[in-house]
Copies of this chain bind each other. A is one copy, B any other.
Amino acid sequence: MDQYCHGVLRTELGLGTFEARLACTEGPPAPGTTLFDTQTGFAVRRWCPPLLGLEPHATPARYLARRRELGVLEAGRRLLRGSGITTYLVDTGLPGDLTGPGELACAAAAEAREIVRLELLAEQVADTSGTVESFLANLAEAVRAAAATAVAFTSVAGVRHGLALAPEPPGPGEVRAAAGRWLAARGAGGELSDPVLLRHVLWSAVASELPLQLHAGPGAPGARIDRTDPALLTDFVRATAGLGTDLVLLHGYPYHRHAAHLAGVFPHVYADSGAALVRTGARAAAVLAEILELAPFGKILFSSGAQGLPELHVVGAMLFREALDRVLGAWVAEGAWSPGDARRVAGLIAAGTAHRVYRLG
Contact = CB atoms under 8 A, between A and B. Distances in A.
A282 B334 CA distance: 9
Interface string A215-237: 00010011111100101101100
Interface string A337-353: 11011000100100000
B267 A26 contact: yes
A340 B42 CA distance: 12
Nearest to A22: B296
Contacts of A279: 293-294
A338 B47 CA distance: 12
B33 A265 contact: no
B293 A287 contact: yes
Interface string A254-286: 100110010011111000000000011111001
Contacts of A281: 293, 336
Contact of A225 (B39, B231, B238, B266): B231
Given A293-B279, A296-B29, A43 B336 contact: yes
A38 B264 contact: yes
A61 B222 CA distance: 51
A254 to B, nearest CB: 4
A207 interface: no
B37 A345 contact: yes
A264 B25 contact: yes
B32 A298 contact: yes
Nearest to A296: B38
Contacts of A223: 234
User: Could you say which interface size class chain A belongs to?
Assistant: 35 or more
A103 B24 CA distance: 45
B56 A335 contact: yes
Given A25-B264, A25-B265, A226-B231, A57 B241 contact: no
23 contacts: A24-B265, A25-B266, A26-B265, A27-B241, A27-B266, A29-B296, A29-B298, A30-B267, A39-B292, A46-B335, A46-B337, A57-B337, A57-B341, A221-B265, A224-B232, A224-B235, A225-B231, A254-B294, A281-B336, A282-B336, A283-B289, A286-B290, A287-B293
Interface of A: 23-30, 32-35, 37-39, 42-43, 45-46, 56-57, 218, 221-226, 229, 231-232, 234-235, 238, 241-242, 246, 254, 257-258, 261, 264-268, 279-283, 286-287, 289-290, 292-294, 296-299, 331, 334-338, 340-341, 345, 348, 356
